[in-house]
Structure 1
């Protein structure tokens, strides 16, 4: 894994020196992490449980295609949260649910976002608005349950992917320095579960959702 990280950093740095109009920077993103649940089962009901505050950090690289279009990529460490509760379906309107089974897990990913940034003209001196759209392949590097007795999910998938939409503003603070801030919405496409042990009638689908405030600097 260390060799892969070194290789990716070297590739990004080589792109940086290849074009004077390209920018390499750092991004810090406090975020709210949650998940979406999909299950068709006549015996059990599964609902998302809770959401948590996470913090991602990473390198970003913006490569100029035209004056207002940039190809954006990078390498970002993204922690995520998975939480859900399982309860028995009601057999009759007056019946009561059995005690809920709640499970929570912690996952960490390395993300390589690939997106297009669209910039406006300057709305005031040295300040531009941008809009961003793209995808973000992810590799899971760590996962664990928050409690030792959580055992419904036996294994998570190694690969995930999200679509991302965002927007924000950039301010040119100097000849080689740009500050930016914005929001990003990331919606997971793949089921993060590889193996579960509960034995539902149909496959249980859990997909991630991440909403972040992005703050950073580019050089």
Structure 2
């Protein structure tokens, strides 16, 4: 897990540095982007965001997992570079690359252990019958969104509406409290070793926020509230198709743009 975190942070740092170098070049030589992709945009703003959030799970379970339900919300973190490519002063295409940790927490009835897998392979001395199953999932998120700005509400603080989606690539999953984690114990007894969760997710993103200028050079502090809702099932179909889980999240966004 530590290796995955370090690799993710290295990727984020590299992307941010590359964007920063591009921005420095553009600041020194003007907004002439040539005939390439960036020539379509009025201006380019690079930044970095830090977003604590509440993760919510939506669970629909049947058959072997019929007693499973969501076990409440948890606080997790999302951070990484943001890139706003302005079409005009009021419209911008916004993307980035975010390292995001999401939690998945289940609660279930003790009758889950009446499953044939546990009858065939009973719990070991190190394992304990549990009524919860908690996991941390690490993703690299690529937002694909639009921002609409308005400077008519608060003076010197343009507000924006953000909408679009995210592409989420899972880079790691970790079972918490393994000796008591009922779903991890179930996974360990499957004939073929496989992860519980799929390779990624596709989500909806809606947000609202504002930007406060820090100086005349265009640097700004930004803040906002963001809602994300996963649109696809994150459990693997092969052995966990009867356990349908989708994620939702509310984030508080804080960051700077240059």
Superposition TM-score tier, normalisation by shorter sequence? 0.7 to 0.9
In 2, distance between residues paired with 1:72 and 1:184? 14
Unaligned runs of 5+ in 2: 1-6, 27-32, 34-40, 113-128, 188-193
Aligned to 2:256: 217
Any idea what the Cα deviations from partners look like across 1:22-50, whole Å, max 9, x if unmatched?
Answer: 11001010111121101244983221002
Rate the CA distance shift 1:103–1:197 in 2: closer, same or farther, 3 A.
farther
Separation in 2, partners of 1:80, 1:140: 10
Q: After TM superposition, list the pairs within 5 Å mapping 1:65-84 onto structure 2.
A: 65-84=87-106
> Residue 25 of structure 1 contacts residue 60 of structure 1 at CA under 8 Å; is this kept in 2?
yes
1:141-182 per-residue CA deviation (whole Å, 9 max, x = no partner) reads 111111123214551211212111010111112122111111
1:71-111, Cα deviation, whole Å (9 max, x unpaired): 0000111001000122359xxxxxxxxx9721000111111
Q: What CA RMSD, in Å, does the superposition of the two structures yield over aligned residues? A: 2.8
Provide the C-alpha distance between the structure 1 equivalents of 2:218 and 2:237, rounded to a whole number of angstroms: 49
Whether 1:159 and 2:181 are equivalent positions in the alignment is: no
- Between Structure 1 and Structure 2, which shows a larger proportion of helix residues? 2
Match 1:176 to one of 215, 218, 224: 218
Indicate how the Cα distance of structure 1 residues 73 and 191 shifts in structure 2: closer, same or farther if over 3 A, else same: same
TM-score for both structures, normalised by structure 2: 0.71
Larger radius of gyration: 2
Higher share of residues assigned strand: 1
Q: Does 1:56 align with 2:78?
A: yes
CA contact (8 A) 2:42 2:88 kept: no
Q: Is the 8 A contact 2:222 2:255 kept in 1?
A: yes
CA 1:193 to 1:182, structure 2 compared with 1: closer, same or farther past 3 Å? same
How many residue pairs match? The answer is: 207
Residue 207 of structure 1 is matched in structure 2 by 246
